[in-house]
Structure 1
Amino acid sequence: MEKSIRNIIIATVAALTFSTTSFAAGNSDDAIAERIKPVGQVYLASDVPVVEEPTGPRSGEQVYKTFCTACHSTGAAGAPKTQNAADWAPRIAKGMDVLKEHALNGFNAMPARGTCMNCTDDEVVDAINYLVKGLVN
């Protein structure tokens, strides 16, 4: 019995010795740095922001599908639905200049430029034309 307890103690000490040695081998400075590096990056207000520049003029459809569809396809926050004559008629009656003004500067729940801060005025107007396509004479 003493011999088997002695063998168990020796085996336990040997296992602990070899396991801590192999564990310590994975603790190089580089290995530790790799394990604890941040998953992502945080933007701080003092950092220089990355500005995404368009590669060229975008069509009204491209602008609509990127920036406008979330509200105008569902009517969220009272937005007139795309190419819905009943929704657009009172707005079109005010004239395209008013539509352009509201789209560029915001109106009620409509944010300025529909949140497309890097859209040109022409791109915003093209998006309006896409929204009311077939509804304006």
Structure 2
Amino acid sequence: MLKQLSAMFILGSLALSAQAVELTEEQRAAIEARLKPHGDLCLSGDSNCAGAVMASADSSAGGSDISGEAVYNQACMACHSSGAGGAPIVGQVDQWSERLAKGRDALHQSGLQGVEGTSMMAKGGRADLSDEQVMAAVDYMVDNSQ
């Protein structure tokens, strides 16, 4: 009975965490402050976004002028900072050495097309990213993992 209740609690928590959440002004300001070093970014619905890169709250890496580091922070960091799904952690040279030996072009292709038999999906599951953004993020990870 305890296992069933525990499983129900976990499933309920996952369901709640997957729902969209309205952000308070304070939360929006905190997000904006974290992203500011990477360029101007506006969440959809913001009124003062003239000339800035537009993004929805769940798709915040839009725009081809965003740096590889910014794309990494927005789209890749979840797995490549924790090792989730077997992803090599940025900065852990030993985890990247075999991959680096294949060459940068091969790593770009892995980022763009995914890696069969692993949890690495094409473009990290972010179809909204341009090829250039994905390659810039790969370059950022490689440059910080040698």
- The match for 1:47 is none
Alignment correspondent of 1:110: 120
Partners of 2:98 and 2:71 lie apart in 1 by 23
Contact 2:85 2:119 in 1 (8 A): yes
CA displacement at 1:74 relative to structure 2: 0.5
Alignment match, 1:130: 140
In structure 2, stretches of 5+ residues that fail to align are 1-19, 21-55
CA deviation profile, 1:88-120 (whole Å, cap 9, x unmatched): 100010111111111101102101101221111
Cα deviation, residue 76, structure 1: 0.8
Give the TM-score normalised by structure 2.
0.54
Deviation, structure 1 residue 134: 4.5
Q: Report the counterpart of residue 81 of structure 1 in structure 2.
A: 89
Provide the C-alpha distance between the structure 2 equivalents of 1:134 and 1:62, rounded to a whole number of angstroms.
Answer: 14
Cα distance change on mapping 1:54 and 1:91 into 2, 3 Å: same
The structure with more strand, counted as a fraction of residues? 2
**RMSD value, Cα:** 2.4
User: Once the 2 structures are TM-superposed, how far is the Cα of residue 135 of structure 1 from its aligned partner?
Assistant: 4.2
Structure number with greater Rg is: 1
Q: Which has the higher helix share?
A: 1
Task: State the identity %.
Answer: 37
Residue number in structure 2 paired with 1:72: 80
Separation of aligned partners in 2, 1:104 and 1:98: 10
